[in-house]
Chains A and B, each alone.
Chain A
Amino acid sequence: MSVDFLIKKAKEIKIVIDNNAPEIEKLDQEIGDGDHIFNVQRGIKLVIELEPIIKDLPMSEALNQIAMKVLSGIGGSSGALFGTLFMTMGKSSDIDVGVDYKKAINMFAYGVEAVKQRGKADVGEKTMMDVLIPVANCLKQGIENNKDLKDLMREAIETAEKGMLSTKNLLATKGRASYLGDRSKGHIDPGARSSQLMIKTVCESILNN
């Protein structure tokens, strides 16, 4: 994984998120306050705009710049959570000497753990953690068992989709949807949907490579 890879994936994610924007906005209007899609789109745009500044930087510094940009540019919960993800990934050890896929997976898992601490949300609370935590676990187990990378990517895509769909019947206990109580049931969480789309995009592009 290189800084160039990160920027390319951000551009691919932008296309997928833009294509699904009306659906995500509608999900958020049902149980949130309707701004999630704007936050995600703004964040991706800002990351892509960083290209000339970060393209020649070491991985740790590039991730830290992405983190600070996302943190200040998105604001709100999304900014803090995605900022924490990238900041923590950038603090992983030995990433400036090259990142193979095993190291990349460990970085991601380390980042997801930090996001879990920051947001104090676990699986089952109807948030993006219902996608991120199972995917991180699946990827980590995969590399421990020396699974084939492409099989592992397919498994991650399935896990993300399952996690996203699982949020539909959950009762929200974190974030703004929690004020709805039982009224939050029956709707997919918009943050789970956007994270699932991002994971799917990255995994598919590795599959097709």
Chain B
Amino acid sequence: MKKFINSADDFLKESLQGFGAAHKDIVTCYYNPNFIIRSKYAKKGKVALITGGGSGHEPMHGGFVGYGMLDAACPGFVFSSPSPDQMIAAIEKVDCGSGVLFIVKNYSGDIMNFQMAAEMMTGPSETVLTNDDVAVENSSFTTGRRGVAATIIVEKIVGSLAESGGSLVECKNLGNKVNKNSGSMGVAFSSCIVPAAGKPTFELRSDEMEFGVGIHGEPGRRRDKIKSAKEITNELLNAILEDLKPENKDDILLFVNGMGGTPISELYLIYDNARKMLDNKKIKIARSLVGNYCTSLEMQGASITITKLDQELVNHWDTPVHTAGMRWGM
């Protein structure tokens, strides 16, 4: 294992301390239990957006705490759900009395822990569950589709509504709408290595790829020989479009996400391939996002997310945001 690391036990603590110190104008980190909140308190009466999940997907979620997006994020151990004591401690700091919206990715551990937090807290809460990974088929026989990169789109758009005074129920409904309008699929060229495990989560030969991979290295639809970027992009897009079935008049957001170990130049190459294919299908790209947002440690790979947009979603996408991982308009 080649990692910038001192000891596996201190990996998360040291990384979080660095994050908190580097972005102290935007966030404040708390430890034992670990959680990240905005350094400037949100205005009174605002619905508090709290999310969390295993670490190893940075900048998700701590990198999206700040004006226009999240109020708090609770990082678990690498690829392991955070625990209710983290959520409860975060709630005490950020709940202004208008309720708490949990944004949770659809994994058994995350669901159980956020559920326990909701049972332990005293005030009102609602949950938006994201499950945009179209790679998971037969979802009625499994835990269901996984929540992946579209979670960030949900966080940005609902974050905007909450900032502008949306109620708890309005925020929840908008979150569900964005999730329903979104589909993602990823592909991996190499495995990630969990620091505590010290070895690759899965083995891939040098000429192979895992098609439909999950953000923790979960198996996808199949293992295949590596193909050209055009062929891979085409397959990812087709899988998503088959699921979302956008109509000609639909505008979309095209989001090309890196898994951590793929250069940005390759992500833009994928974007270029994707936009031409969408153009041929007369699907209009109204908004774009390219970069490493929902990563899987050092995994070499990328995912594509498409969100069908209407005017309401476009307006909320465009509002100012100031977080460590995403910033525009201010």
A positions within 8 Å CB-CB of B = 33-35, 38-39, 68, 71-72, 74-81, 83-84, 118-119, 171, 173-176, 178-181, 183
Question: B80 and A68: CB pair below 8 A?
Answer: no
- What chain B residues lie within 8 Å of A71 (beta carbons)? 83-85, 116
- What chain B residues lie within 8 Å of A174 (beta carbons)? 108, 143
Q: Count B-side interface residues using an 8 Å CB cutoff.
A: 34
Other-chain contact of A35, B33, B82, B136, B194 (Cβ < 8 Å): B194
- What chain A residues lie within 8 Å of B138 (beta carbons)? 181
* B79 interface residue per 8 A CB criterion: yes
Count of chain A to chain B residue pairs whose CB atoms are closer than 8 Å in the complex: 97
The chain B residue sitting closest to A176, CB to CB, is B218
Contact mask B86-114 → A, CB, 8 Å, 1/0?
10000000000000000000011100110
The chain A residue sitting closest to B145, CB to CB, is A179
| Bound form: Cα–Cα A74–B146 in Å | 22
Other-chain contact of B83, A33, A79, A119, A171 (Cβ < 8 Å): A79
* B186 interface residue per 8 A CB criterion: no
- With both chains docked as a complex, state the minimum distance between the C-beta of B119 and any C-beta of chain A, in angstroms: 10
- What chain B residues lie within 8 Å of A176 (beta carbons)? 107-108, 143, 216, 218
| Bound form: Cα–Cα A178–B84 in Å | 25
Question: A33 and B219: CB pair below 8 A?
Answer: no
- With both chains docked as a complex, state the minimum distance between the C-beta of B214 and any C-beta of chain A, in angstroms: 7
| Bound form: Cα–Cα A179–B146 in Å | 9
The chain B residue sitting closest to A31, CB to CB, is B219
The chain A residue sitting closest to B82, CB to CB, is A75
- What chain B residues lie within 8 Å of A84 (beta carbons)? 112, 116
User: Known contacts A76-B80, A173-B142; can you find 6 more A-B pairs with CB under 8 A?
Assistant: A68-B85, A76-B109, A80-B83, A81-B112, A119-B108, A179-B136
Question: B216 and A75: CB pair below 8 A?
Answer: no
- What chain B residues lie within 8 Å of A74 (beta carbons)? 83
B positions within 8 Å CB-CB of A = 33, 54, 76-77, 79-86, 107-109, 112-113, 115-116, 136, 138, 141-143, 146, 194, 196-197, 201, 214, 216-219
Q: What are the 10 closest A-B residue pairs judged by CB atoms, nearest first?
A: A77-B109, A80-B112, A178-B142, A76-B80, A76-B109, A72-B83, A72-B85, A179-B218, A76-B81, A75-B80
Question: A77 and B84: CB pair below 8 A?
Answer: no
Question: A33 and B194: CB pair below 8 A?
Answer: yes
| Bound form: Cα–Cα A53–B90 in Å | 26
Question: B196 and A38: CB pair below 8 A?
Answer: yes
The chain B residue sitting closest to A25, CB to CB, is B197
- With both chains docked as a complex, state the minimum distance between the C-beta of A73 and any C-beta of chain B, in angstroms: 8
- With both chains docked as a complex, state the minimum distance between the C-beta of B224 and any C-beta of chain A, in angstroms: 15
Other-chain contact of A179, B82, B84, B201, B219 (Cβ < 8 Å): B219
- What chain B residues lie within 8 Å of A72 (beta carbons)? 33, 83-86
- What chain B residues lie within 8 Å of A175 (beta carbons)? 108, 143
The chain B residue sitting closest to A68, CB to CB, is B85
- What chain A residues lie within 8 Å of B79 (beta carbons)? 33, 35
Given contacts A119-B108, A176-B216, A180-B219, contact A39 B80 (CB under 8 A): yes
Question: B217 and A33: CB pair below 8 A?
Answer: yes
- What chain B residues lie within 8 Å of A75 (beta carbons)? 76-77, 80-83, 109, 113
Question: B194 and A179: CB pair below 8 A?
Answer: no
- What chain B residues lie within 8 Å of A173 (beta carbons)? 141-143
| Bound form: Cα–Cα A72–B142 in Å | 27
Question: A179 and B143: CB pair below 8 A?
Answer: yes
- What chain B residues lie within 8 Å of A35 (beta carbons)? 79-80, 194, 196-197
27 A–B pairs (Cβ distance < 8 Å), ordered by A: A33-B217, A33-B218, A34-B197, A35-B79, A38-B196, A39-B80, A68-B85, A71-B84, A74-B83, A75-B76, A75-B80, A75-B82, A75-B83, A76-B54, A76-B113, A77-B109, A77-B112, A79-B113, A80-B83, A83-B83, A83-B116, A171-B141, A173-B142, A178-B141, A178-B142, A179-B218, A181-B138
- What chain A residues lie within 8 Å of B115 (beta carbons)? 118
Interface centre among A33, A72, A181 (most CB of B within 10 A): A33
- What chain A residues lie within 8 Å of B113 (beta carbons)? 75-76, 79-80
- With both chains docked as a complex, state the minimum distance between the C-beta of B216 and any C-beta of chain A, in angstroms: 6
| Bound form: Cα–Cα A180–B216 in Å | 13
- What chain A residues lie within 8 Å of B108 (beta carbons)? 77, 119, 174-176
Question: A179 and B77: CB pair below 8 A?
Answer: no
| Bound form: Cα–Cα A172–B13 in Å | 34
Other-chain contact of B143, A78, A80, A178, A183 (Cβ < 8 Å): A178
- What chain A residues lie within 8 Å of B76 (beta carbons)? 75-76
- What chain A residues lie within 8 Å of B218 (beta carbons)? 33, 176, 179
Interface centre among A34, A118, A171 (most CB of B within 10 A): A34
| Bound form: Cα–Cα A178–B194 in Å | 20
- With both chains docked as a complex, state the minimum distance between the C-beta of B57 and any C-beta of chain A, in angstroms: 14
